[in-house]
Amino acid sequence: MLKTKDILDEKDKRLRLISKEVQFPLTKKDQELIDTMIQYLHDSQINELSEKYDLRPGMGMSAIQLGVAKRYFVVVNELTDPETEDDQKEFETYVLVNPKIISNSMEQIYVTEGEGCLSVNRPVDGIVPRYARVTMEGYDRDGNKIQVRAREELAICFQHELDHLNGILFTDHIDPKNPFKGKDQMRGI
């Protein structure tokens, strides 16, 4: 079982690698890693399991965060209110292989409480500008071409994970001299 300690910390230079395109069919090892990532993200959003296994809650994870420099990520999006009882929670799971943004809104948004990351184990103040809506194209784990439209929180998560595949951390988007620069030109969510 994947533990929070297995996820690369921001100080690890491997997080700065640009991940390589994936060839199909996926290897058994890649399929297993995807399953592991899905399980971690799912369990981390269920209070009882996150406490029992000491999992830091997360919505998305890229292969590079586990030291695998391949272009795929997983997002597990909770569809129910976070206050819903654990056994009633519903999730939608996305696996994107060789993803790219093919269109985006002009409107930019940011997370008002600040973006977080399973690889950044500290509070970070500042605004990370993100597109309010994106359409991503890529492949599912079976090699079928897919397109996914995302808005708001899901769009932010997709952009965050795509950044990981390009060696970028969310902290890179924050202006160190003026962390809240541009706040009045974007919508907080």
17 phi/psi in degrees, rounded to 5: -70, 150
Q: Are 72 and 98 in contact (CB under 8 A)?
A: yes
pLDDT tens for 27-79 read: 999 999 999 999 999 999 999 999 999 999 999 999 999 999 999 999 999 88
pLDDT per residue over 130-174, tens digit each? 999 999 999 999 999 999 999 999 999 999 999 999 999 999 999
Q: Containing H/E element for 98?
A: strand 91-104
Q: What is the largest CA-CA distance in the chain?
A: 47
Please confirm, yes or no, whether 153 is among the known catalytic residues. Answer: no
Distance CA 102, CA 71 (A): 16
Per-residue confidence (pLDDT) for residue 87, from 0 to 100 = 75
Compute the average pLDDT of residues 1-23. 96
Tokens of 118: 């399973």
* Annotated catalytic residue, options 21, 78, 92, 161: 161
Under the banding of pLDDT at 50, 70 and 90, the label for residue 177 is very high
Task: Convert 136-149 to b/e letters by CB count within 10 Å (16 or more is b).
Answer: bebbebeeeeeebe
Enclosing domain of residue 182: 4-188
Q: For residue 82, what pLDDT is reported? A: 67
Give the per-residue pLDDT at 18.
Answer: 98
Distance, CA of 137 to CA of 148 (rounded, Å):
6
What is the number of structural domains in the chain?
1
Residue 79's pLDDT is 87
What CATH number has the domain bearing residue 69? 3.90.45.10
* pLDDT (0 to 100) of residue 40: 97
Q: Is the pLDDT of residue 6 over 90?
A: yes
Burial class (CB in 10 A: 0-12, 13-18, 19+), 66: middle
Q: What digits encode the pLDDT tens for the residues 82-112?
A: 677 777 889 999 999 999 999 999 999 999 9
